[in-house]
Amino acid sequence: MSFYRELAPSRDLHALVACRWVRRVPETAQDESTLVLPDGCVDLLFRGGSVLVVGPDRKAHTNPLNAGETIVGLRLRPGVAGSVLGMPARELIDGRVPIEDVLGHSTTEVVERFEEADGEEEALSLLEGLVHSRLASADLDPLVLAASRRLGFTGSRVDRLAEALGISERQLRRRFHRAVGYGPKTLDRVLRFRRFVSNAPALADGELDLARAAADLGYADQSHLTRDCVRLSGMTPARLAEHWAG
């Protein structure tokens, strides 16, 4: 079984980067894969000699893993990718795109540095350095960043959020498509779903039932939770909780 861990980003990138992460696959692994669930984020990762831009996802993906490989990544917070990468994040939805296709062939030298990296820490530092190099020209949208932090919680409503921010729902949706990749209602659904996923161990162990989880997380009812879970993961809540907790 592969080993996965998340690490805190550098302090000066904490507002923009959710985490750094590493996945190691043992040499003895055979036909292994990992389930990647939507989280509203865009990842930059180094794998197999390539730097890739991944997401944001609208549904779960099964990612095949190769025996003996190590993958390192940097997870940008929702609302950051569009500005840092200098393109509408909507164009990256469900994508796995080489960094050269996003930033142009001027990144060839950057990719070569990754190929020469001595271990995980250096590769992670290079990913952070890549983000740093883009910040000078990045035009981060503070309204979208503020709005993103209010979504996914009990009682969150996009219409009220737009009103509180002094902007129309249409304008908010347009700015979300550029900065996040999809609209605020979709991000709200995804972030609430991720809060459900964080409860998977308690659900799998029987410490929490689905009706209580649905109520605590702000779903209208258990059926609402089930519909969103199937839409985003392809599994029922019970099956996903068992899979994720295992």
Predicted confidence at residue 85, as pLDDT, reads: 94
DSSP-derived letter for residue 52 is E
- Say which amino acid occupies 49: G
Q: pLDDT digits over 5-56, tens only?
A: 999 999 999 999 999 999 999 998 887 899 999 999 999 999 988 899 999 9
Task: Label the pairing between strands 3-7 and 61-64.
Answer: unpaired
Q: pLDDT digits over 197-237, tens only?
A: 999 888 888 888 899 999 999 999 999 999 999 999 999 99
Q: pLDDT digits over 84-118, tens only?
A: 999 999 999 999 999 989 988 667 777 788 888 88
What value does the mean pLDDT take over residues 121-131?
93
Predicted confidence at residue 109, as pLDDT, reads: 75
CA distances from 207 to 176, 199, 203, 210, 212 (A): 37, 10, 6, 10, 10
Question: Which pTM does this prediction carry?
Answer: 0.93
The number of residues in the chain equals: 246
What value does the mean pLDDT take over residues 49-67?
93
Omega before 26 within 30 of 0, i.e. cis:
no
Among the residue ranges 4-18, 130-144, 172-186, the one predicted with the least confidence is 130-144
Omega before 56 within 30 of 0, i.e. cis:
yes
Q: What distance in Å separates the CA atoms of residue 244 and residue 246, rounded to the nearest whole number?
A: 5
For 85: left if phi > 0, alpha if psi spans -120 to 50, otherwise beta; the answer is alpha
